[in-house]
Amino acid sequence: MQLEKVQGFLFDLHGVIADSWQYHLASWRTIAEELAIPWTPALAKALPGMSRQASLETILASAQESGRLLPDEFKAVTDHENALYRQYVAAMTPANRLPGITAFLDQLVAAGYPLALASASTNARAEIERLGLQDYFSRIVPAESLAAAKPAPDVYLAAAQLLDADTRACVALEDTLTGVAAAKAAGCITIGLNRDPLPAADAQLTSTAELSLATVRRVLGQLTRSTETL
C-alpha cells in the first residue's frame, strides 16, 4: 500500500506512546508480594499486553494457585492493582513519552493523517492528558465499550470506526504479541515496536526512535513489493 492511501494511524498506548509498562509491572509486583507469590523475570516478560484479568490469572497460575481467589476476591485484587497504577499515572509527565514519538505525531498531523488511540486501558484518557498529548488524541476508544480485550480485534475495529476508516487502510503501531494479534485480526497493517521478535507483525522496528513518515513509507513499499512477488 502507498502511504498516500493510508486512512489513519491507530496507536497502542503502553510501550508505544509512553513507557508506562514499568508502572504496571511495579503495581503487579506489589500485588504478587501481597499474595506471597514470587515475582519472576518470566512474569515481567509475560504480562505486558495482557488485560488486568489475564495478568492476575497469569500471576496466580505461576504459583499453581489458579483457583485461590473467589470471584469477589479476584475483582478486589484487580481493582487494587488499578488503584496502585493510577498513583503512577498521577505522577506522569510529558517526560514519559517514548523517544521519537512526539516528532512522529507532529509529522502525521502536519501531513493530515487522522489519529486514534487503540488502548483498552480504562486509564487511557487520563494518561494522555498527563502526557500532554490530548491535542493529538481527541479520538480515544472508550474501554468500557469493548466486549473483549486484546488479542481480540475489538479495540482496533472501534478505533478505525472513530476515524470512519477501513481497518485494511489503517496502520497500527503495537509493541506486544497480544496487541499485534489484535491489530492483525482487525485487518490492520501492523508495525511492531520491540527489540524482541513480533513474528505476526507486517514489519518491525526496534524502537519508537526509528519512527518517521519516511520509515513508514519505506515499510509500506517493502510490503507492497513482497505482496507483488507472491
What is the CATH number for 128?
Answer: 3.40.50.1000
Residues 183 and 221 in one domain: yes
Res. 228 pLDDT band, cuts 50 70 90: low
Residues 53 and 110 in one domain: no
Residues 120 and 205 in one domain: yes
For 126, counting Cβ atoms within 10 Å of its Cβ (0-12 exposed, 13-18 middle, 19+ buried), the class is middle
Q: Mean pLDDT over residues 205-212, rounded?
A: 97
Of the three residues 90, 109, 142, the one that is the final residue of a domain is 90
State the maximum Cα–Cα separation within the chain, in Å, rounded to a whole number: 55
Residues 111 and 210 in one domain: yes
Residues 75 and 102 in one domain: no
Residues 158 and 176 in one domain: yes
Residues 29 and 102 in one domain: no
Sign of the dihedral through C-alpha 107, 109, 115, 120: positive
Residues 150 and 212 in one domain: yes
Examine the pLDDT at 11 and tell me if it is beyond 70.
Answer: yes
pTM over 0.85: yes
Of the three residues 58, 90, 122, the one that is the final residue of a domain is 90
Examine the pLDDT at 230 and tell me if it is beyond 50.
Answer: no
Residues 6+ apart with CB under 8 A from 181: 150, 151, 200
Res. 51 pLDDT band, cuts 50 70 90: confident
Residues 203 and 100 in one domain: yes
**What is the percent of the chain with per-residue pLDDT over 70, rounded to a whole number?**
97
Task: Write the CATH number for 65.
Answer: 1.10.150.240
Residues 188 and 153 in one domain: yes
pLDDT digits (tens, 9 = 90+) for 61-74: 999 999 999 999 99
Residues 67 and 15 in one domain: no
The radius of gyration computed from the CA coordinates of the chain, to the nearest angstrom, equals 18
pLDDT digits (tens, 9 = 90+) for 110-152: 999 999 999 988 899 999 999 999 999 999 999 889 999 899 9
**The predicted structure's pLDDT at residue 227:** 60
Q: Name the domain count of the chain.
A: 2
Residues 13 and 50 in one domain: no
Q: Mean pLDDT over residues 79-97, rounded?
A: 94
Of the three residues 59, 90, 121, the one that is the final residue of a domain is 90
Angle at 97 between CA 21 and CA 47, to 5 degrees: 10
Examine the pLDDT at 76 and tell me if it is beyond 60.
Answer: yes
Cα separation, 201 vs 175, in Å, equals 10
Domain extent for 145: 3-19+94-228
pLDDT digits (tens, 9 = 90+) for 157-184: 999 999 999 999 999 999 999 999 999 9
